Every structure is written in structure tokens, then in C-alpha cells.
Amino acid sequence: MKTLTALSLASILGLTASFAHARDLGPDEALRLRDAGTIVSFEKLNATALTKHPGSEITDTELEEQYGKYIYQIEMRDPQGLEWDLELDAVTGRILKDHQDT
């Protein structure tokens, strides 16, 4: 029983630690970073995503700081109704992840 409790506690602590490495940035902080030239403009990031999936509609965006890097997350729906999740490096505009949401 002690082993099970210890494993459960270790799992919870591990999840808490991984959440601590990602934080959502509010609109004011995101605009400050954009205006300072730290991150690429949101228009350019969105255009990059739309180039990857032409004709798609952006349904949600979010800027996060993960392990000291700025990550722009985009959720999209393509003309066939498929949903896509993309992650872009907000500093360089490079696509890091592009996968179909299942």
C-alpha cells in the first residue's frame, strides 16, 4: 500500500512540475512582446499556419511560455471539417508541430 501511495504522489508531483514549465501569457504581455520585437507579429504567425492548411479557419490561438520559449498555439478547421493543432516558435515563426486533432 505504501508503494502505491508513493507512486501516486510521485505521479501528481510530476504532473505539477510539468505544468509549472508552461504558462499562458495574457493579451497585455503578448502585445508587449510583439511591440518590443521579441516575437513575430500575430498576423505573420497566423499567415504561416494558413499557408500550411489553405482555406482553413483559425478557431483559437494562445501564446505560452514553455521552458523559456514563446510558443504560439493555433487551432484550425479545414474546409473538410478536420481540426488541426499547430505550434509555432513565436520568436522565429517556425512550425514546431502540426497534427490533426482527433
Determine contact, residues 76/83, Cβ cutoff 8 Å.
yes
Q: Tell me if 74 sits within 8 A of 92, measured CB to CB.
A: no
**Domain range annotation of the chain:** 23-100
The topology (CATH level 3) of 23-100 is: Nuclear Transport Factor 2; Chain: A, (3.10.450)
pLDDT in tens, the chain (102 residues): 444 444 344 444 444 444 457 788 888 999 999 999 999 999 999 999 999 999 999 999 999 999 999 999 999 999 999 999 999 999 999 999 999 987
